[in-house]
Amino acid sequence: MDDNFLQYASYVIRDRAIPEIEDGLKPVQRRILYSLNQNDDGRFIKVANIVGYTMQFHPHGDASIGDALVALVNRGYLIEGQGNFGNIHTGDPAAAARYIECRLTDLAATQLFNNDLTDFIPTYDGRKKEPVVLPAKLPLLLMLGAEGIAVGLSTRILPHNFGELLKAQIAILQKKPFTLLPDFLQGGLIDARDYDEGRGKVRLRAVIDQKDEATLVVRELPFGVTTESLINSIEDAAKKGKLKTKAIRDYTAGQVEIEVALPNDTDIPKAIQALYAFTQCEISSSLRPIVIRDQRPVEMSVHDMLRHNTRRLLQLLRKELQIERKKIDEALQTASLVRLFIVHRIYKRIEECNTAADVKQAILDGLAPFRDQLRRDIVKADLDMLLGIPIRRISLYDINKSRKEEDDLLADFAAVEKSLTDVTAYTIKYLKNLYRDYADLFPRRTREAQFDAIEMRELTAKELPIVLDRERGYLGYDDVDGDPVFRCSSYDKLILVWDDCSYRVIPPPEKLFVDKNLIYAAIYDRDRVMTLVYTANQITHLKRFTFGGIIQNKDYFCAPKAENPKALFFADNQPATLYVKYGPRKGQQIHQQEFEPTKVAIRTPKTRGIQMTTKRVTSIATQKPRNWDTKAGPKGALLH
């Protein structure tokens, strides 16, 4: 079990879900592109045929191949489609594979393939050969982006702009600083302050215009959001009371156009903020740039990926130049041999030879005086080539044309040699040519912006009416009888206090039984100063405190629980004076007193507080009662 699971996990990570850093492709993408290259004749090919051909290399069925091919077509860089390949704005699927056609773009055909630089391995059934990686000269991983879930890990890399990637590669080669930001076909806005070179997160927003005094129009969508999912999120927000709408109309065709009709008295800026806060008009995307490097999954920043791709481009171009130099050298050798063989009539010598060995020796003897005009020693393949020259070519041989061809080859050889002396400069020139030829085809669509923080509590401050039914002991915003005691946001937390000095923090409830001894309910504010008078063991205490941090739905006490406290007064304001009246008792001379709570220091809920009196308290008021005797009794003293 352990061995099999480990093999399965390794297979999913390396051969299905996670892209390879070398060419930036997952196996299914690489096999699709290779299949298109193998069948490329410049014309469109039915997608069904390419899917079938790719199945010779990819063992996972036609559905995964077709979906990956459609995604590559919709990216626009590598495969050109003809027919209905779906709609990235609406999420509509592509037509069946038998009805649509595709072919490689010129960019893919010229930049992804070179058999001289490609290592091949047997396919899954051993019948064919497939490339290990493609010798791609483009930073495909950052052009296309990648997303995949493997066993125990996942990857999420956002796509970037083609022209900006080429400029960044030039900056790397010139040892200059550079920055990269994602770019999406859907356009939209991006706040990349926390992008952290692809390891952090980004916030994405739709582009919203105001059509008239009561209509907003969504013009561009965030990456990964479709018109259907956006409309569903707006309808859901409206049902929950977070946003008021009259109608939603979708006119999307080639471009996104979703009209949101609002009530006539709507505050438009606040409505736009609500769309961003409560619908898919704004989304946040966390990133994890995992790639396969040296057969292992590793996490790399976007900048490190591009540096790796740039080093690989340098190596590929150097190998191509070396191969080209060797081909030109061989062409010069061939041209020189042919010229010497014909001009000096060496072919006449073989007329008197009786054996094949004599023929070859006669040619070697005839060319021996001209060794200094050749690029290398003569080998068997050279002799076979000379013997294969047809008589017609010999009779029509043009010495001037031949010398011009050799001069052209020498010029090409010198150019290649010069490029090999400074491959970095050659690579920069190569990238600049790519930028000139293709960058205009892929303009930046996503605009950078810094989004202001949205105070969701302010947008929904009066969303929920909290009602307290004291007769039945219920609190909530749904199916509770009575008038609202206050309104709050669904993002708020409520603090509830009972007369036994217990308290609890909860989210706004639909309907909660709180009993009839609830003495305080309000929006929780950890720094609000509370005033409490309670009695315990026949002693009355006064305290001021703040609740501070509280775990939600956990019971706490703001007086010593073991002493069975009873709250006599509780308030969230800071009264200057408390007017306290005492119950009659034999021999008691003081029946009322004034206390000044502001003189009590603010502590935590766990403190006992200051002793007020041992007399039995009958009433506490913050305003002087009508029957208050202004001449009777001294001011209350607080015993520390």
* Domain co-membership, 473 together with 613: yes
Instruction: Enumerate the β-bridge partners of residue 290.
Output: 299
Residue 221, Cα to own-chain centre: how many angstroms? 15
Confidence of residue 9 (pLDDT cuts 50, 70, 90): confident
CA torsion angle 473 477 479 481 (round to 10): 50
Q: In terms of domains, do 333 and 382 share one?
A: yes
Confidence of residue 353 (pLDDT cuts 50, 70, 90): confident
Q: How many residues does the chain have?
A: 640
Residue 141 lies in a domain: no
Confirm if 150 and 17 have CB atoms less than 8 A apart: yes
* Mean pLDDT of all residues in 446-455: 85
Q: Residue 249's beta-bridge partner residues?
A: 259
H or E segment to which residue 194 belongs: none
Res. 475: pLDDT tops 60: yes
User: Is residue 477 located within the same domain as residue 616?
Assistant: yes
Q: What is the biggest distance separating any 2 CA atoms in the chain, rounded to whole angstroms?
A: 155
Write down the residue that tokens 């076979």 correspond to.
Answer: 384
Query: Are the C-beta atoms of 170 and 103 separated by less than 8 Å?
Result: no
Q: State residue 481's pLDDT score.
A: 87
Q: In terms of residue numbers, what domain contains 104? A: 25-135
* pLDDT score of 637: 67
Looking at per-residue pLDDT, the higher value among 165 and 591 belongs to: 165
- Whether 639 shows a pLDDT value over 70: the answer reads no
Average pLDDT over residues 260-283: 91
Same domain, 472 and 432: no
Tens of pLDDT along 120-146? 999 999 999 999 999 999 999 999 999
- Kindly tell me if the per-residue pLDDT of 202 is higher than 60: yes
pLDDT at 632: 66
Could you tell me if residue 396 is inside a domain?
Answer: yes
Q: Are 429 and 171 in contact (CB under 8 A)?
A: no
Distance (Å, rounded) from C-alpha 137 to C-alpha 438?
A: 14
- Phi, psi dihedral angles at 637 (to 5 degrees): -105, 135
Q: Which of 135, 153, 181 is the last residue of a domain?
A: 135
Does residue 454 have a pLDDT over 80? Answer: no
Active-site residue set: 99
Are residues 435 and 508 part of one domain? no
* Token duo for residue 31: 């096999």
Are 473 and 350 members of one domain? no
Task: State the Cα–Cα distance between residues 326 and 4, nearest whole angstrom.
Answer: 47
Higher per-residue pLDDT: 453 or 541: 541
Does position 203 have pLDDT exceeding 60, yes or no? yes
Return the pLDDT at 93: 93
Overall average pLDDT of the 336-353 stretch: 88
Instruction: In whole angstroms, give the CA distance from residue 292 to residue 357.
Output: 56
Q: What does the pLDDT read at residue 479?
A: 85
Q: State how many domains the chain has.
A: 4
Domain end position, chosen among 135, 152, 175: 135
CA–CA separation, 216 vs 611, rounded Å?
A: 62
Query: Which of 52-66, 74-88, 200-214, 617-631 is the least confident region?
Result: 617-631
Write the pLDDT tens digit of every residue in 275-333: 999 999 999 999 999 999 998 999 999 999 999 999 999 999 999 999 999 999 999 99
Whether 17 is covered by a domain: the verdict is no
pLDDT tens digit sequence for 17-28: 899 999 999 999
Instruction: Output the domain CATH number for residue 545.
Output: 2.120.10.90
Across the range 83-98, mean pLDDT stands at 94
pLDDT at 216 over 90: yes
Residue 103 forms part of a structural domain: yes
Residues 6+ apart with CB under 8 A from 475: 466, 467, 468, 469, 496, 509, 511, 512, 514, 518, 521
* Co-location of 250 and 360 in the same domain: no
The residue to which tokens 């471009």 are assigned: 255
Which of 108-122, 177-191, 313-327, 609-623 bottoms out in mean pLDDT, i.e. has the lowest? 609-623
% of the chain beyond a pLDDT of 90:
69
Q: Identify the band that residue 110 occupies on the pLDDT scale cut at 50, 70 and 90.
A: very high
Q: How confident is the model at residue 350 (pLDDT cuts 50, 70, 90)?
A: confident
Distance CA 318, CA 610 (A): 85
For residues 490 and 607, membership in a common domain is answered with: yes
Helix/strand/coil percentages in the chain, nearest 5: 35, 25, 40
Strand partners, 205: 189, 282
Q: What is the rounded distance in angstroms from the CA atom of residue 371 to the CA atom of residue 511? A: 103
Clarify whether residues 247 and 340 are in a common domain: no
Same domain, 430 and 470: no
Decide which of 413, 439, 465 is a domain's last residue: 439
Using 50, 70 and 90 to split pLDDT, how confident is the model at 626?
confident
Phi, psi of 585, deg, nearest 5: -155, 145
Residue 65: which H helix or E strand, with range?
helix 62-75
Residue 268 lies in a domain: yes
Pairing assessment for the beta strands 556-557 and 502-506 based on DSSP bridges: antiparallel
Please check the confidence at residue 341 and state whether its pLDDT lies above 70.
yes
pLDDT at 152: 82
CATH number of the domain that residue 80 is part of:
3.90.199.10
Going from the C-alpha of 397 to that of each of 240, 371, 401, the distances in angstroms are: 89, 22, 8
Q: Would residue 83 count as lying in a domain?
A: yes
Gap between the Cα atoms of 260 and 384, Å rounded: 79
Task: State the Cα–Cα distance between residues 613 and 248, nearest whole angstrom.
Answer: 66
Within 10 Å of residue 20's Cβ, how many Cβ atoms? 22
**Which of the four pLDDT bands, split at 50, 70 and 90, describes residue 457?**
low
Residue 467 sits in the same domain as residue 611: yes
Residue 346 to residue 182: CA distance in whole angstroms: 66
> What's the mean pLDDT in 471-483?
89
Instruction: With respect to residue 47, please indicate whether it lies within any of the assigned structural domains.
Output: yes
Residues 32-43: b if buried by 16+ CB within 10 A, e if exposed: bbbbbbeeeeee
- Do 267 and 332 lie in a common domain? no
Phi, psi dihedrals of residue 191, rounded to the nearest 5°: -110, 105
| Cα 228 to Cα 217: distance, rounded to the nearest angstrom | 15
Asked whether residue 627 is assigned to any structural domain, the reply reads: no
pLDDT over threshold 70, residue 633: no
Please indicate whether residue 8 or residue 222 has the higher confidence score (pLDDT): 222
Query: What is residue 640's predicted lDDT score, i.e. its pLDDT?
Result: 55
Contact (CB, 8 A) for 340 and 371: no
Question: Per-residue pLDDT tens for 494-548?
Answer: 999 999 999 999 999 999 999 999 999 999 999 999 999 999 988 999 999 999 9
CATH of residue 342's domain is: 1.10.268.10
| Region 84-90 average pLDDT | 94
| Contact yes or no for 244/238 (Cβ under 8 A) | yes
